[in-house]
Amino acid sequence: MNEPIIILNDLTKQYDQLVAVDHLHLTIYRGEIFGLLGPNGAGKSTTILMLLGLSEPTAGEVRVCGINPVTHPVEVKRKVGYLPDNVRFYDDLTGLENLIYTGQLNRMTKKQAREKALHLLSRVGLSEAAHQKAGTYSRGMLQRLGLADVLMKDPEVIIMDEPTLGIDPTGAKEFLALIVKLSKEESITVLLSSHYLLQVQEICDRIGLFVKGKLIAVGDIASLSRKLFANEPFIIEATVDQLSPISRLQDLKQVLVGIEGVKQIDVQNAHIRIFAAKDITAQVARAIVHTGLDLLSLSKREHGLEDIYRRYFEGDGMEA
Ligand code: ADP
Ligand code: MG
């Protein structure tokens, strides 16, 4: 299963002074579910538009199923189903009629399209809403209809931009589960973008962490945190008495800075968090006591998802 399906080579997109996508290298393989995850403004949508031939790269190359979308956009669209972040349908047509219309655009007869549409509506859990106008669908239902719509043309690849945007957490979870099921059953390659790291990561075979136009790490979550925090694998957290004088906390900070291996210190009220290259729990305990502070709790852990979230996605809405 190591056949490259999407290849980005040095891909760059510049808008005037802004480099929205910055020399991106990435290969996605057949059958993979790949998550392009990053905060708002990272350049995810811009990357997706270039993959589809909807935006021209400033530099670099793209191949999708061996096709260059810059020179052959129509061929790419034949193989790739795209679910944009603001998927729209004809409001006055029913869900079924919308899918039949798509089928006919893809050169099916009306009968073929109707059969396929009914089958897909059932697969995405919309059978009961098939004859309801799309204008009455909820956001979650529209996403399901969008998925069915994309499947009408038997795509090799599905690209979804922010697929869970605007769906409640339960609906989002169900929708993500549906994506996994369909992609595994049909061995479709899926590229999805999201700024909900915590929500989306678990369905992805691999993740690329995309920040300010750059892919800063690629892999599964465990290897991602190893790569991102290679120089500071330990987090030591301590709580001291709420009523500790600020001057003592400042003294403590001075002492902590001097401990070998300390990379970063956050002090928030009585809560102290230290990022360190080695396990310095004992030294931290000693420092706190020597400074004359009352130590109430002390713990040590290794970096994980929460820390990736905190560092790169903070302030972006933490929907789980
Ligand atoms: P994401 O999808 O990760 O939220 P985008 O790809 O939409 O990020 O945007 C990346 C950056 O490029 C942002 O700073 C955005 O303002 C800028 N950008 C996107 N599209 C355009 C455009 N058509 N013209 C100018 N700047 C744009
Ligand atoms: Mg976007």
79 in the same domain as 25: yes
Instruction: Note whether 210 and 246 are same-domain residues.
Output: no
The string of pLDDT tens digits covering residues 201-243 is 889 999 999 999 999 999 988 888 888 888 888 999 999 998 8
Confidence of residue 319 (pLDDT cuts 50, 70, 90): very low
For 257-279, what is the mean pLDDT?
A: 93
Q: Kindly state whether residues 244 and 283 are assigned to the same domain.
A: yes
Q: Is the CB of 44 under 6 A from ligand 1?
A: yes
Using the 3D structure, point to which of 206, 227, 248 is the last residue of a domain: 227
Q: Are 228 and 273 in contact (CB under 8 A)?
A: no
In a domain, 119, yes or no: no
Question: Using an 8 Å Cβ cutoff, are 83 and 107 in contact?
Answer: no
Domain contains 123: no
- Residue 263 maps to a domain: yes
Q: Which amino acid is at 121?
A: L
State whether 253 and 163 are in the same domain.
no
Instruction: Specify the ligand 1 atom closest to the Cα of 161.
Output: 2
Domain count, the chain: 2
Percentage of residues of the chain with pLDDT beyond 70: 98
Residues 69, 149 within the same domain? yes
pLDDT tens digits, one per residue of 133-168: 999 999 999 999 999 999 999 999 999 999 999 999
Q: Is residue 122 part of a domain?
A: no
For ligand 1, atom 5, the nearest C-alpha belongs to 43
> For residue 310, what pLDDT is reported?
82
Residue 315 clears pLDDT 70, i.e. is over it: no
98 in a structural domain: no
In a domain, residue 120? The reply is no
Q: What is the pLDDT of residue 99?
A: 98
| Residue 244 forms part of a structural domain | yes
pLDDT of residue 306: 81
Assign 320 a pLDDT band (cuts: 50, 70, 90).
very low
Q: Which of 177, 193, 116 is nearest to 150 (CA)?
A: 116
Residue ending a domain, among 178, 198, 227, is 227
185 and 295 co-located in one domain: no
Domain boundaries, position 82 = 4-89+137-227
Which atom of ligand 1 is nearest to 40's Cα?
4
Do 170 and 74 reside in the same domain of the chain? yes
The CATH number covering residue 260 comes to 3.30.70.100
Whether ligand 1 lies within 6 angstroms of the CB of 95 is answered as no
**Ligand with minimal distance to 36 CA:** 1
pLDDT at 1: 56
Q: Is 263 found in the same domain as 215? A: no
Residues 204 and 238 in one domain: no
Radius of gyration of the chain (CA): 24
Same structural domain, 237 and 210 = no
Which residues are within 5 Å of ligand 2 (an ion), measured at CB? 44-45
40 lines ligand 1 (CB under 6 A): yes
The residue whose CA has the least distance to atom 7 of ligand 1 is 45
From 11, 13, 15, the mutation candidate for ligand 1 (largest count of ligand atoms within 8 A of CB) is: 15
Q: How far apart are CA 73 and CA 56, in angstroms?
A: 11
Q: Let me know whether 245 and 176 are in one domain.
A: no
Q: What is the pLDDT of residues 77-116, one digit of tens each?
A: 999 999 998 899 999 999 999 999 999 999 999 999 999 9
30: CATH: 3.40.50.300
Return the pLDDT at 298: 96
User: Residue 314 above 80 pLDDT?
Assistant: no
Of 227, 244, 278, which marks where a domain is finished? 227
Q: Ligand 1 atom 22: the closest Cα is on which residue? A: 15
Indicate whether 215 and 241 sit together in one domain. no
Which atom of ligand 1 lies nearest, measured to the CA of 16?
25
Ligand 1 neighbourhood includes 208 CB (under 6 angstroms): no
Average pLDDT in the 192-197 region? Answer: 94
Q: What is the 46 CA–ligand 1 centroid distance (Å)?
A: 6
206 phi/psi in degrees, rounded to 5: -140, 160
On the question of pLDDT at 295 being above 90, the answer is yes
120 in Cβ contact with 99 (< 8 Å): yes
